[in-house]
A = this chain, B = another copy of it.
Amino acid sequence: MTGKFDDAARAAWLYFVAGKTQDEIAGKMSVSRQTAQRLISLAISERLVRVTLEHPIAECMRLADDICARFGLATCDVSPSDAGSAQAGLGAIHSAARMIERWLGSDKPVVMALGTGRSMRAAVDQVAAMDCPAHRLVSLVGNISADGSASYYDVISYLAGRVKAHYYPMPLPVVARSSEERRLLTELATVRSVAALARGADVAFVGIGHVGPNAPLREDGFISAAELDDLIAGGGVGEIVGWVFDRDGKVLAGRTNARVASVHVGDLTGGARIAVATGAKKAAAIRAALAGGLVTGLVTDEATARLILGGGKRGK
């Protein structure tokens, strides 16, 4: 008895690689045309097949090189913008997923640190199922939201399940109620060991949030409106796993930062630190993070890349 995914993979193989029509496949596999179509569509939705672009689009490459040069990044991926689509940033998310897969495909065991946020969640959704029990995924940021529930885009457990890796979540709120509470929490033995693991990670993937109207930090209920205003007044423009920084990428002293319980991405030692972020609203935050050297790599899309490089003045 052959499994369902096996049939799906076989049908997809015949369809994409051998170039058969669904009718022919149906004939070969002795099923109806509809079933063949369903198998192929299953293979696509389960990501048993992968379509990749071999040809680097010159314009995107150019933007990526410019960003690398300007901010001294180790890696930069710019994907084509899907202008005007509902799925903003889809391209960047797709290439982030592929980059994650590449790291997880490594032979030697990898410690991968992960932030949270919508982009990150969307990216791990696109990671193909794999089997990598040797790798470890570690969270940079607490998974407890303000009301005590453990929601907030649970990136790490989803990815861990999908790739069958061990994972180390952080049983913490994102922002503690006081700096004293933060101190107590981060001194817990379990938290300390997870944080230590995170700081030594081989690679970290994080989202970047903007600080301003509709800041994700506020929208997701981690800080109050008053706190957000305070951060803006203090020069905050962006945030990574809760740590707010100004336009130079310098982490603000005090304010909510005094109570953020997550691992600051700047504290990671040695490993690659890759940001995944797109969107006009985020451009200033991304530029600041790059300027401050908070990350060593960026995955974004064409439109955002132009904004980061300075409002398209370099275009043409």
Contacts and interface: CB of A to CB of B under 8 A. Distances in A.
Nearest to A61: B6
B84 A5 contact: no
Interface string A255-295: 00000000000000000000000000000000000000000
Contacts of A177: none
A59 interface: yes
A17 to B, nearest CB: 6
A14 B82 contact: yes
A83 interface: yes
A48 B59 contact: no
A295 to B, nearest CB: 23
A14 B87 CA distance: 12
A128 to B, nearest CB: 5
14 contacts: A5-B55, A9-B55, A9-B56, A10-B57, A10-B80, A13-B53, A13-B57, A16-B51, A17-B94, A18-B87, A48-B54, A48-B55, A49-B52, A50-B53
Contacts of A91: 13, 17-18
Interface in A7-50: 8-10, 12-14, 16-18, 20, 28, 43, 46-50
A2 interface: yes
Main secondary structure of the interface of A (DSSP, over half): mixed
Contacts of A5: 55
A90 interface: yes
Contacts of A48: 53-55
Contacts of A79: 13
A16 B91 CA distance: 11
Given A13-B80, A16-B51, A17-B91, 10 more contacts: A6-B59, A9-B56, A10-B80, A12-B53, A13-B91, A18-B90, A20-B85, A28-B84, A43-B55, A54-B129
A49 to B, nearest CB: 6
The count of identical subunits is 2
A14 B49 CA distance: 17
Nearest to A11: B80
Q: Which of A13, A28, A56, A128 has the most CB of B within 10 A?
A: A13
Nearest to A85: B18
Interface string A52-79: 1111111100000000000000000001
A160 B57 CA distance: 23
Contacts of A148: none
A62 to B, nearest CB: 11
Contacts of A315: none
A99 B222 CA distance: 49
Contact of A50 (B13, B46, B54): B54
Contact of A59 (B2, B51, B52, B82): B2
